[in-house]
Amino acid sequence: MRTHKQLVIYQSILQVLSEPGCPFCRFLKEYQAERLQNHSKDDIHRLCNFHAWGLAAVQKAPTAAQVFIKLVDEPAPTSIGDAVCDICKEVLAEEDLRTREFVSCLARPGVSHWLRTSAVLCIPHATKLRRQVPIVFTARIDGIIEHYREQLTQELEQLRNEPEESDRVGWGALGRAAEFLVSQRGLHS
């Protein structure tokens, strides 16, 4: 995350189907960054480790200081529900909304074509999606995961066989593997 990086504001999960990687991760990564950059300082009461550091990284120093002063001065949460990160709650709600949106669009030709030809999903989003799609689509999701698993395995084996001195060659494969396993940074704990 960079301070005031120009964000792409997506309105629909369908807008990111042509982008590389898991569309849910891409959509939610931009949503999360937008929330960190533009969240009202009065609406933040709790932050997890990732989002506290993210806020420090993307906000202007005086604004971040004001948020952190407020958080430091607030009493400790008295229940588990009060201790949940505000940004995490918003990202989770948006994730649920976009999953339902995607499921409602399965019959659209563009979505159907994407599922057949170029779909990539991370394991966490495939798992969530699999629970909500009609049974006829579960095998397709499983096939998407298996195809991407094979592709990543090939890339990682190639990287493993690189000489030690070429340390930075292939780092993209490592990032794609991390996203595949656990989704984009900060989306799931």
User: Looking at residue 52, what is its pLDDT?
Assistant: 93
What are the pLDDT digits (tens) for 120-167? 999 999 999 999 999 999 999 999 999 999 999 999 998 888 777 666
Burial 99-109 (b: 16+ CB within 10 A, else e): beebbeeeeee
What are the pLDDT digits (tens) for 1-51? 445 555 678 999 999 999 999 999 999 999 999 999 887 777 888 999 999
48 and 86 in contact (C-beta within 8 Å)? no
- Tell me, what amino acid is at 83? A
Burial 142-178 (b: 16+ CB within 10 A, else e): eebbeebeeebeebeeebeeeeeeeeeeeeebeebbe
Above pLDDT 70, what percent of the chain?
89
- Tell me, what amino acid is at 29? K
- In this structure, of 30-44, 67-81, 101-115, the range with the lowest mean pLDDT score is 67-81
pTM of this structure: 0.85
CB atoms under 10 Å from CB of 15, counted, come to 14
